[in-house]
Amino acid sequence: MYKVVVSNSASKELQDLPSLAVGRIIEALRKLQTEPRPPGSKKLRGTSDLWRVRVGDYRIVYAIEDTIRVVDIRKIGHRKDIYE
């Protein structure tokens, strides 16, 4: 099991999303505890340690620390805004 840690900025971004999307994103965060690289996840180009997972039109950007078994959630947002 990995520990999922949500940054303060990602937590604020999550609060601003529609409630239907929040439920789906929270479920995706729970799944990251057991599988930090689920099918469909991708390593972001141009970064050394960031991954992303799709949840409908929303994206979760995170880093994986395998040595200490932590998934660090960095950003959560709509696909048109997340990579800016």
Q: What string of DSSP letters covers 13-64?
A: HHHTS-HHHHHHHHHHHHHHHH-SS-TT-EEPTT-SSEEEEEETTEEEEEEE
CATH superfamily of the 3-78 domain = RelE-like (3.30.2310.20)
pLDDT for res 27: 96
Please compute the mean of the pLDDT values over residues 44-67 and round it to a whole number: 94
Whole-number Cα distances in Å, 19 to 22, 24, 26, 55, 71: 5, 9, 11, 13, 23
**pLDDT tier at 47, thresholds 50, 70, 90:** confident
Position 29, amino acid: L
**pLDDT tier at 7, thresholds 50, 70, 90:** very high
Domain positions in the chain are 3-78
